[in-house]
A and B are shown apart, each in its own frame.
Chain A
Amino acid sequence: MNTLQTQAVILIILIPLMSSYAIPLFGWRWKGSAFFIALTAIGASLVCSLILLATVLTKGTIHYHLGGWLPPWGIEYVIDPLNGFVAVVVCIISFLVTISSKESVEKELPEKKVRFYTIYLLLFTGLMGIVVTGDVFNLYVFLEIASLAAYALIAIGEDGAPLASFNYIIMGTIGACFYLLGVGYLYIVTGSLNMADLAKLLPPLYDSKVVLIALAFFLIGTAIKMGLFPLHVWLPDAYTYAPSAVSSFIAPLMTKVMAYILIRILFTVFKPSYVIEVVPVASILSWIAAVAIIAGSILALAQRDLKRMLAYSSVSQIGYIVLGIGLANKMGLIGAYLHILNHAFMKGCLFSVAGALMYRTGRRNIFQLHTIHRKMPFTMGALVIGALSMIGIPPTAGFFSKWYLILGSIEAQNWVFVAVILASSLLNALYFFRVIENVYFEVSQGGLKEEPVGDPVREVPLSMLTPIILLAAGILLLGLYNERIISGILVLALPRGF
């Protein structure tokens, strides 16, 4: 491996971290530079992540020892196909969403730009750190970095944003503390904090109560952070009231990275056999996920606010991923991994569309969007593609995640799950087509026909439109090419034995 390949592991975190310090320095003098530094840093990380993924697929798992200390005494960064894949997903979505953030930040938070991008980059750094690290405590550190940045970013929205952020702080801290407790318990019995080392040290201890409690703490902690029903209560408010650029960034990414943490804990630190046979955690998770899927969809039906509807929809979609993890068979896991990718693109696209609507019309109420497609045809076209993908119409990406999850459920002979997945498609169709109807057709709802205020409603500027179109195109392409992704990357990312 040449130097760039070896160093890419650390660069992927170092560049955004250093840039986030550079932004206040440069931004003090040149306010406009904040955006460009942020974009460049994320772009550099994107390049690194692509290099890493390519290297992992050809040369095998990459190990990077921080400071030259050998594991398990030192902190180790490990890239295997799974986190290489997740890293690329996070970087691509971050990059596209950041491009579209320029205009919306200008409009919503003009005098806070510099501080915004500083924290924004820290959030990105935190997420990348979670993905690349191979040490459980290091993961906690990055988890908290990301969470703190998220708390701050959410709080600068309008309406009930500070309260939403405060609730998120309380619940998120509980989640992170539970995670920390889990780490503590594992440390007591093994003396190690390195994931690979733990995987070696734990099997003889599998019948110990301490290990079981550690797993329970991990699960609850990540469940809170992921927004798995019924620990999702912080999510709708946080996503709804955050500024557009923030919700477009957090919604597709944060919960996915937390799901990645769950996969790591369940299948790397603890062996799959523990999770499936010794303690039936996987099946408990899958049942909770099934409830989450239905509950999220039903709650989404009741919403009039577009972003709130999308937030509850996210709760439902996290259920899909956890269902795939809980099924713990090959098709289920492939479905879960693929859905991490697909949902990131879908929600990235949909929240960006919501952001575009906010930018041009200042509105979020579904029933006030009359025939807006005439003024914003491309944005609404992207909305349709995103909606079709969420419902699960081939050849969009969303269909294929559901396809694999259904195959996995059938393989596990669990017909309830099949019914749940199919029913949720119909529920999704209900609330997404309601939006499409309002956007494309003149649905007279008595008295709500005011003209939009402010600027005449036109299509959003190119810097916002391009990422939206790219994300929508991505949804289509990911659907069509999903087999390449699976056979090229995901099959390698499965835990051993699947």
Chain B
Amino acid sequence: MKPEEKMVDYLISKYNYWVYIFLMMLGFYAMMGKRNLVKKLIGMNIFQTAIILYYISIGVKKGGTLPIFMEGAPRAADYINPLPHVLMLTAIVVSVSTTGVALAVLLMIYRRYKTLEENEILKSIR
């Protein structure tokens, strides 16, 4: 392929990776760059969601169908890979639990400091 075509192919055919990279960076920026603790938490969520999407996307096969067992001799090549789906179910549970714990901690912070802005909290601690 010519270099330009290679570049275009890179950008288009691997679009799933670009999506997840974009989401990950978005989440990362929110975690690091935002001052409000809830926004950080949402950033963390976006970050984890990006990874979940990535995993699921790697299981896709050309011409594969849903991984539900159908009549007749099963051929593994016909189904998209269900293992990442299973792994990501676990990861989603982890993500939800982490969000739950984080929200509980945020509640504690709010009760104590009456604000959820990081700089104000740090000011009141010093």
**Chain A interface residues (CB < 8 Å from chain B):** 137, 140-141, 144, 148, 151-152, 155, 159-160, 162-163, 165-166, 169-170, 173-174, 176-177, 180-181, 184, 187-188
Contact = CB atoms under 8 A, between A and B. Distances in A.
A151 B101 contact: yes
A155 B105 contact: yes
Contacts of A159: 125
Contact of A144 (B51, B54, B87, B98): B98
Of all A-B residue pairs in the complex, the 9 with the closest CB atoms, nearest first, are A162-B108, A162-B109, A144-B94, A155-B105, A169-B102, A166-B105, A162-B105, A165-B105, A160-B125
B97 interface: yes
B51 A184 contact: yes
A166 B108 CA distance: 10
A170 B105 contact: no
Nearest to A181: B51
A181 B23 CA distance: 14
Given A173-B44, A177-B51, A187 B84 contact: yes
Contact of B90 (A141, A162, A188): A141
Contacts of A141: 90, 94
A173 B105 contact: no
Interface string B85-102: 001001100100110011
Interface of B: 28, 31, 37, 40-41, 44, 47-48, 51, 54-55, 58, 83-84, 87, 90-91, 94, 97-98, 101-102, 104-106, 108-109, 112, 121-122, 125
B58 A166 contact: no
A152 B106 CA distance: 11
A302 B111 CA distance: 32
Contacts of A184: 51, 54-55, 58
Given A151-B101, A174-B31, A169 B55 contact: no
Contacts of A148: 94, 97-98, 101
Contacts of A144: 94, 97-98
Secondary structure at chain A's binding surface: helix, strand, loop or mixed?
helix
A151 B105 contact: yes
B81 to A, nearest CB: 9
B7 to A, nearest CB: 17
B13 to A, nearest CB: 15
Given A148-B97, A173-B98, A163 B109 contact: yes
19 contacts: A137-B90, A141-B90, A141-B94, A151-B105, A155-B108, A159-B125, A160-B125, A162-B108, A163-B122, A166-B40, A166-B102, A169-B98, A170-B40, A170-B41, A170-B44, A174-B28, A177-B47, A177-B48, A184-B51
A173 B47 contact: yes
A169 B125 CA distance: 19
Nearest to B90: A141
A163 B123 CA distance: 12
Contact of B109 (A166, A176, A177, A181): A166
Contacts of B101: 148, 151-152, 169
Contacts of B91: 140, 180
A177 B84 CA distance: 15
A67 to B, nearest CB: 14
A166 B122 CA distance: 13
A93 B91 CA distance: 30
Contacts of B28: 174
A177 B31 CA distance: 13
Contacts of B109: 162-163, 166
A166 B98 contact: no
